[in-house]
Amino acid sequence: MASLPVLDLHSRQPNKENQLVAALTSAPEVTQLQVVKAIYGKPTAANTRALQKLQSRVRTKLLNHLYFLDHSDARHLVSRRYELECLDLLHKVSILYAEREYKLTERLLQRCLRLCKLGEFTQYEVQCSRMLRSLHMERQQPIPYKKVTKTLQKAQQQLTWEDEAEQLFADTQLALNGSVAARRAVLTVLPERIAQLEALHRRARSFTTYNMVYRARLAYEELQGNFQEMIRVTSAAAKRWRDGKLNARRFDLRFNHFVSIYAYLRGRQPVQGLRLAEEYTRDFHPSSSNWFYFQEHHVLLALHAEQYERAQELMAVIMKNPAYIIQREAALQRWDLYRAYIDFVLPPPRTNAARYRQLAQLVLQLPEYSRDKRGHNVAILVLQLLYFLRERNLEAVLLRLERLRKYQQRHLYEATTIRSRLFLRLLQLIVEKNFDPGQAADRGKTLLQQLSDTPPPGNAFAEVEIIPYEHLWELVLKLLREGVPVPLTAELA
């Protein structure tokens, strides 16, 4: 009997394909040698080659399962199901056309063309129109041939404008994902690019050109730190969507939700942002990477709103997600940093020695001055400083303060880093005032007011404040009131 093109994972008869899937599912980190032993018994060269052939066969069959994935869940990208419906029809009519089954081909192509127009998938509309044109030519049908030729010409012009808009936006997005210098450079040209995108949208009047304008505007306001305008843009887009003025098959409401709560977070409106995040979270599927990006800002909103218990609850839910461990290493390290801050403001009791040691290990193992931690270096050093203030370890406190001073000199010299510089100047006061919380608070009033009056900069220039600097300063003073740092030798004595 010929082998099935897909895996029968519910088969009662054991086979090596299912054994391989089970082995990899139960232990993703298993080595090839261990798999060979588990399936074939002995790690011989012949068995290793057999495993490689088995892996290739299983991989091919798993790819075939993609045809049967359910994309109807509204918590996934809304356009996915409609786009794949068009692609599925195009695949089928390609085969039917090659088999010269023209009547069914035409019927399915007409259906596909209608779906392409409803979803504004211009590139597939062009493909459908081309296939219909060839079909009418083959069948000597001049009237429908001329009609579809006009449709094709219109779609091709539309696609040209959309391609130009997507190229402009892609060039911009590449710079936005690059270095700080690249983002500063693109900031100067963004107004001109937005004007070009708007001109293309006036010609095309398509969802694609609208989406490029919408996203470019959000990027521009974010770079400038104009978070209130980002809130306005996302609110206006959500209203247009509710009023049926945006293509419901294409507009990614989840992205709009994400940008909205991000703007509330960075715009120092965490209470309102947290309320919306609690409402929006239902629109994100827990299996998607977008869910983790959303929850990252959800946690930060709770921290900024000083709802630390809520942040702790969210963190517990996030870590229980089966996909948590397969995130990128940089993402996992960010989660470690957020968890360390939460555990610091809600510390385990000293009687729970194991949990307390775990917190200490987590804090002290966070890497410093790493390029891939761009935006988090100050947060890491400050957390370590807070930990040693609580431990009343004078030498370690002075060492972290010196590292912060050097980091400021080397990296925080731009005008846009003023919030971080003001906070680090506040921290230096605790040494100048000999760790006296009253004197430090009194001397720091002017700096604290300047800090409160200084809005956060745009994303191109920002150090991430996991907990706002104003709240951290209050935490520093509280720790000093509980006890000032002392030399380690004094404690030993």
Contacts of 297 (CB under 8 A, 6+ apart): 258, 261, 262, 265, 277
User: Can you read off the two tokens belonging to residue 419?
Assistant: 């919030």
- Contact indicator for 218, 237 with CB cutoff of 8 Å: no
**Is the residue at 4 inside a domain?**
no
Confidence (pLDDT) at 369 = 44
- Rounded to whole angstroms, how far apart are CA atoms 298 and 300? 6
- Virtual torsion, Cα 233, 235, 240, 243, nearest 10 deg: -170
- Taken as a whole, the chain contains a residue count of 493
- Contact indicator for 80, 71 with CB cutoff of 8 Å: yes
End residue of a domain, out of 192, 215, 247: 247
- Rounded to whole angstroms, how far apart are CA atoms 119 and 125? 10
Q: Which position has the token pair 């270096």?
A: 377
Confidence (pLDDT) at 355 = 64
Q: What's the distance, CA 239 to chain centroid?
A: 24
Sort 398 into a burial class: Cβ within 10 Å, 0-12 / 13-18 / 19+.
Answer: middle
Residues 84 and 229 in one domain: yes
Look up residue 28 and give its amino acid. Answer: P
Sort 73 into a burial class: Cβ within 10 Å, 0-12 / 13-18 / 19+.
Answer: exposed
- Rounded to whole angstroms, how far apart are CA atoms 476 and 478? 5
Confidence (pLDDT) at 456 = 82
Confidence (pLDDT) at 1 = 47
**Is the residue at 204 inside a domain?**
yes
pTM of the model: 0.84
- Rounded to whole angstroms, how far apart are CA atoms 53 and 147? 51
User: Can you read off the two tokens belonging to residue 177?
Assistant: 């994902």
Contacts of 83 (CB under 8 A, 6+ apart): 119, 121, 124
Domain that holds residue 243: 79-247
Residues 56 and 87 in one domain: no
End residue of a domain, out of 298, 331, 366: 366
**Is the residue at 122 inside a domain?**
yes
**150-172 pLDDT tens trace:** 999 999 999 999 999 999 999 99
Nearest to 285 by CA among 483, 71, 29, 434: 71
Residues 155 and 40 in one domain: no
**126-156 pLDDT tens trace:** 999 999 999 999 999 999 999 999 999 999 9
Residues 322 and 419 in one domain: no
Look up residue 125 and give its amino acid. Answer: E
Confidence (pLDDT) at 490 = 53
User: Can you read off the two tokens belonging to residue 85?
Assistant: 């419906």
Max Cα–Cα distance, the chain, nearest Å: 102
- Contact indicator for 316, 286 with CB cutoff of 8 Å: no
Residues 295 and 220 in one domain: no
Confidence (pLDDT) at 265 = 95
CB crowding 11-28: b at 16 or more within 10 Å, else e: eeeeeebbbbeeeeeeee
Nearest to 163 by CA among 206, 195, 194: 206
Residues 257 and 238 in one domain: no
Per-residue CA distances from 220 to 183, 187, 207, 342, 415 (Å): 10, 7, 20, 32, 19
**Is the residue at 73 inside a domain?**
no
Residues 335 and 257 in one domain: yes
Residues 92 and 220 in one domain: yes
**Is the residue at 411 inside a domain?**
yes
- Rounded to whole angstroms, how far apart are CA atoms 184 and 187? 5
Those residues of the chain that have pLDDT short of 70 are 1-2, 348-360, 362-363, 365-374, 458-462, 488-493
- Rounded to whole angstroms, how far apart are CA atoms 232 and 188? 22
User: Can you read off the two tokens belonging to residue 231?
Assistant: 């809130």
Sort 68 into a burial class: Cβ within 10 Å, 0-12 / 13-18 / 19+.
Answer: exposed
Look up residue 188 and give its amino acid. Answer: T
Dihedrals phi, psi of 181, to nearest 5 degrees: -60, -40
- Contact indicator for 223, 181 with CB cutoff of 8 Å: no
Q: Which position has the token pair 């030729």?
A: 149
End residue of a domain, out of 247, 276, 308: 247
- Rounded to whole angstroms, how far apart are CA atoms 209 and 191? 16
Confidence (pLDDT) at 178 = 78
Confidence (pLDDT) at 66 = 85
Q: For 30-121, where are the alpha helices, taking DSSP H only? A: 32-40, 45-65, 78-98, 102-119
- Rounded to whole angstroms, how far apart are CA atoms 224 and 184? 10
**Is the residue at 438 inside a domain?**
yes
Residues 177 and 235 in one domain: yes
H or E stretch including 150? helix 142-176
**Is the residue at 379 inside a domain?**
no
Residues 291 and 236 in one domain: no
Contacts of 8 (CB under 8 A, 6+ apart): 18
**Is the residue at 7 inside a domain?**
no
Q: For 243-328, where are the alpha helices, taking DSSP H only? A: 253-266, 270-280, 289-304, 308-320
* DSSP tag of 417: G
Confidence (pLDDT) at 11 = 76
Residues 107 and 154 in one domain: yes
Residues 199 and 117 in one domain: yes
Overall number of domains in the chain? 4
CATH code of the domain covering residue 88 = 1.25.40
